[in-house]
Amino acid sequence: MKKRIGFIGCGNMGKAMLGAMVKSNEIALGDLIVSTKSKASAEKISDDFEVKTTTDNKEVVRNSDILFLAVKPYFFKEVIEEIKDLVTENTIIISIAAGITIAQIEEWFGKNIKVVRTMPNTPALVGEGMSAICPNKNITEEELQYVGRLYDLFGKYEVLEEKDFHAFIALCGSSPAYVFMFIEAMADAGVKLGLPRVKAYKLAEQAILGSAKLAFETGKHPGVLKDEVCSPGGTTIEAVIDLEKNGFRNTVMSAVEKCADKSKNM
């Protein structure tokens, strides 16, 4: 299913997605088009990715079968107002905006449209994103599979009901910040123990990366993997006991829940 793909807006996340598509060689460069607010940014994207660029959002719509709306949420309604008359019932609209619902997008377009609400997280910038995808009722199974293949280019994805996006935000959208805090805390501990800071960060980062990969590739329960590291009377179990004593699990679960609650109330 050959599709022409357009981006309206191309910030960090848009560039990550565009870059993954370009590198994949699965999408012809001539089938990609991007619009940005300024001529300078359009020229920069054209130079970096060798795709057609413009400052005219309507030109993108006219040349796209799949249209990524990659602008900030507060520009969303304004952009839709500008392009809605050109969007057809066959155009697939993909939103990556946090907090904008399918119902809002449908209302702003004011007609029968195909919409996929998505939410990638920042590891998509290095091809390791985790994205949530939710189609509206007009998206066919074949179209959903095609969108999924696009999201596979910069990580992994799960199809979720829209009501579960709050949980996704807390568990995947915001969690890179939690992990970075954990890396920072581990590195600080390493510095306290005498390691140079650069090496402490490198060690902490690789420990997190390797642990996540081990869990993913073995499919073992995290509790089993934890137990495999803990020797009887050893050093690791001492650290685990201290984490438990200081409420590590409860702190993490509480933070995730608070994040989801905030998302629901925004």
Clarify whether residues 153 and 193 are in a common domain: no
Higher-confidence residue of 98 and 110: namely 110
pTM over cut 0.75: yes
Clarify whether residues 19 and 124 are in a common domain: yes
Q: Which residues are annotated as a binding site for NADP(+)?
A: 8-13, 36, 70-73
Q: Which residues are annotated as a binding site?
A: 8-13, 36, 57, 70-73
Structure tokens at 177: 């910040």
Per-residue pLDDT reduced to its tens digit, 168-196? 999 999 999 999 999 999 999 999 999 99
Q: How far apart are CA 87 and CA 61, in angstroms?
A: 7
> Is 150 within 8 Å of 21 (Cβ atoms)?
yes
Of 136, 164, 192, which closes a domain? 164
Clarify whether residues 180 and 139 are in a common domain: no
Picking from 140, 148, 150, the residue whose alpha carbon sits closest to that of residue 18 is 150
- Say if residue 26's pLDDT is above 90: no
> Is 5 within 8 Å of 21 (Cβ atoms)?
yes
Q: How far apart are CA 181 and CA 158, in angstroms?
A: 25
Clarify whether residues 24 and 149 are in a common domain: yes
Clarify whether residues 201 and 146 are in a common domain: no
Structure tokens at 15: 């560039």
Clarify whether residues 115 and 184 are in a common domain: no
Of 116, 145, 164, which closes a domain? 164
Which residues form the domain of 215? 174-265
For residue 57, being part of any structural domain is answered with: yes
Q: What percent of the chain has pLDDT over 90?
A: 92
Clarify whether residues 160 and 181 are in a common domain: no
Clarify whether residues 157 and 187 are in a common domain: no
Q: How many residues does the chain have?
A: 266
Of 143, 164, 185, which closes a domain? 164
Clarify whether residues 113 and 198 are in a common domain: no
Q: Which residues are annotated as a binding site for NADPH?
A: 57
Per-residue pLDDT reduced to its tens digit, 205-241? 999 999 999 999 999 999 999 999 999 999 999 999 9
Clarify whether residues 157 and 208 are in a common domain: no
Instruction: Report in angstroms the alpha-carbon separations of 244 from 80, 117, 176, 207, 239.
Output: 50, 38, 22, 20, 9
For residue 169, being part of any structural domain is answered with: no
CATH number at residue 222: 1.10.3730.10
Q: What pLDDT score does 2 carry?
A: 79
Q: How far apart are CA 162 and CA 118, in angstroms?
A: 9
- Work out the average pLDDT over 152-175: 96
Clarify whether residues 103 and 223 are in a common domain: no
Q: What pLDDT score does 1 carry?
A: 59
Picking from 37, 40, 30, the residue whose alpha carbon sits closest to that of residue 3 is 30
Clarify whether residues 133 and 239 are in a common domain: no
CATH number at residue 152: 3.40.50.720
> Is 90 within 8 Å of 64 (Cβ atoms)?
no
Q: What pLDDT score does 49 carry?
A: 94
**Count of domains for the chain:** 2
